[in-house]
């Protein structure tokens, strides 16, 4: 294996971030080593989707220019993330009769039962594209399978599966913006999964946890249990709502409210400021709690909630999260193995894209699950090209 270079582009509502990383030919287990970064103010986006393609393309070009200068070479290919409010999930069930005469379950059987489960929900998600399919549980002749069913013997194979999907137009617009900046898109991943690859440990994923990225205009989350993503969701709330609340509550300009939110010196009452911030945070965590109740995981995730993104830097957010969700709560930075080059959690998505893009292994971290869509996005998008 030759040394591989991977580029991850996170087109967020607040900033566009680009990470250039390399994977050593000698050490394919270690995380990718960062060799270049770039960022720029985001323009032309709303709640994670494109509203002005020209402005968004210029933002991507600016971040790419920085990253190319930092890495020392031009960027021609990249993996990207999407975190628009159009990201959603749907669950399905599939079942087939195994194909071999000796009833041994094959990889082909597993693919067919996943295809059956996808076909059952396709008509319920018009105008949407499935990005990731996750087999949550297999059953063979009525008995729950612990692990993968390949190699076992049985007649009827069933699966319960999660399908992470996105509005087709949001996806097409995002890919078009990046390609208009001169970069070929290799594949697309949802931002919550990208984040999880670098801020969650295997122990946390196994025990059960939720990683929540509080961005400028979106709250994206992924819920894990037994090393599998059980749920992926994006809500149209973010730290900009807190800025607006501060501006209204203190009757000050938005620019001043943003500085105060970020920890700048404030002539206003700290008690009043904390009340404003904590009130909005409580609303945000209530949304999250409602979702956890919907998937029957409220108060049942031992590893708790791991907070990341720009909004995670707010003072007191861990305490509010702990009280609202009745779960352990902590703010996560990036793994020290990034060589100390990235400590700010707002880089988690861009670096997580690199980790995902660099991995061709079939492992239990969820990376292989997300990557089952490999190349399908590129083929799908080609139908929109002139």
pTM, whole model, 2 decimals?
Answer: 0.90
Q: Tokens 């801020």 identify what position?
A: 199
Cβ neighbours, 10 Å, residue 202: 12
3-state SS string for the chain: CCCEEEEEEEECCCEEEEEEEEECCCCCCCCCEEEEEEEEECCCEECCEECCHHHHHHHHHHHHHHHHHHHCCCCCEEEEEECCCCCEEEEEEEEEECCCCCCECCHHHHHHHHHHHHHHHHCCCCCEEEEEEEEEEEEECCEEECCCCCCCECCEEEEEEEEEEEEHHHHHHHHHHHHHCCCEEEEEEEHHHHHHHHHCCHHHHHHCEEEEEECCCCEEEEEEECCEEEEEEEECCCHHHHHHHHHHHHCCCHHHHHHHHCCCCCCCCHHHHHHHHHHHHHHHHHHHHHHHHHCCCCCCCCCCEEEECHHHHCCCHHHHHHHHHCCCEEECCCCHHHCCCCCCHHHHHHHHHHHHHHCCCCCCCCHHHHHHHCCHHHHHHHHHCC
Rounded (5°) CA angle 353-359-360? 135
The domains found in the chain, sorted by start residue, are: 4-85+168-199+335-384 (3.30.420.40), 88-167 (3.30.1490.110), 202-331 (3.30.420.40)
* Residues of the chain where predicted confidence (pLDDT) is lower than 50: 336-337, 339-340, 361-368, 374, 386
Contact 20, 7 (CB under 8 A): yes
Q: What is the C-alpha separation between 277 and 248, in angstroms, rounded?
A: 12
Report the relative pairing of strands 219-225 and 77-82 from DSSP bridges. unpaired
pLDDT at 148: 86
pLDDT of residue 359: 78
Please tell me the predicted confidence (pLDDT) of residue 208: 96
| Helix axes of 348-358 and 191-199: crossing angle, nearest 10 degrees | 90
Strand partners, 96: 157
Round to whole Å and give the CA distance between 289 and 298: 6
Can you say how many angstroms the Cα of residue 170 is from the centroid of all Cα atoms in its chain?
15
Nearest to 279 by CA among 327, 301, 246, 312: 246
Distance CA 32, CA 4 (A): 9
Q: Which residue matches tokens 């894990």?
A: 224
């Amino acid at each position: 294996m030759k040394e591989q270079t991977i580029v991850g582009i996170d087109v967020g509502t607040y900033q566009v971030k680009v990470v250039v990383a390399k994977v050593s030919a000698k050490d394919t287990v270690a995380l990718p080593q960062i060799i270049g970064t770039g960022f720029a103010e985001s323009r032309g986006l709303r709640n994670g989707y494109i509203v002005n393609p020209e402005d968004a393309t210029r933002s991507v070009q600016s971040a790419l220019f920085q990253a190319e200068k930092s890495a020392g070479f031009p960027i021609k290919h990249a993996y990207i993330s999407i975190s628009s409010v159009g990201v959603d999930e749907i669950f399905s069930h599939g079942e087939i009769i195994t194909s071999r005469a000796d009833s041994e379950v094959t990889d082909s059987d597993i693919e067919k039962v996943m295809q059956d489960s996808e076909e059952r929900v396709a008509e319920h998600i018009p105008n949407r594209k499935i990005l990731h399919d996750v087999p949550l549980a297999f059953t063979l002749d009525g008995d729950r399978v612990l692990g993968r069913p390949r190699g076992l013997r049985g007649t009827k194979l069933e699966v319960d599966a999660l399908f992470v999907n996105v509005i087709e137009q949001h996806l097409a617009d995002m890919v078009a913006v990046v390609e208009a900046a001169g970069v070929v898109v290799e594949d697309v991943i949802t931002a919550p999964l990208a984040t999880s690859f670098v801020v969650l440990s295997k122990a946390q994923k196994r025990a059960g946890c939720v990683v929540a990225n509080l961005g400028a205009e979106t709250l994206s989350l992924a819920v894990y249990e037994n090393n599998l993503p059980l749920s992926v969701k994006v809500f149209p709330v973010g730290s900009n709502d807190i800025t607006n609340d501060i501006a209204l509550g203190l009757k000050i300009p938005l620019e001043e409210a943003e500085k105060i939110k970020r920890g700048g010196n404030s002539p206003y009452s700290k008690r009043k400021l904390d009340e404003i911030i904590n009130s909005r945070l409580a609303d945000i965590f209530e949304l999250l709690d409602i979702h956890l109740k919907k998937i029957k995981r409220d108060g049942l995730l031992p590893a708790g909630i791991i907070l990341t993104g720009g909004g995670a830097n707010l003072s007191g957010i861990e305490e509010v999260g702990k009280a609202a969700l009745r779960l352990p709560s902590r703010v996560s930075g990036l793994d020290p193995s990034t060589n100390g080059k990235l400590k700010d959690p707002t880089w988690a998505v861009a670096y997580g894209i690199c980790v995902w893009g660099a991995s061709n292994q079939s492992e239990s971290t969820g990376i292989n699950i997300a990557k089952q869509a490999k190349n399908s996005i590129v083929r799908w998008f080609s139908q929109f090209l002139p």
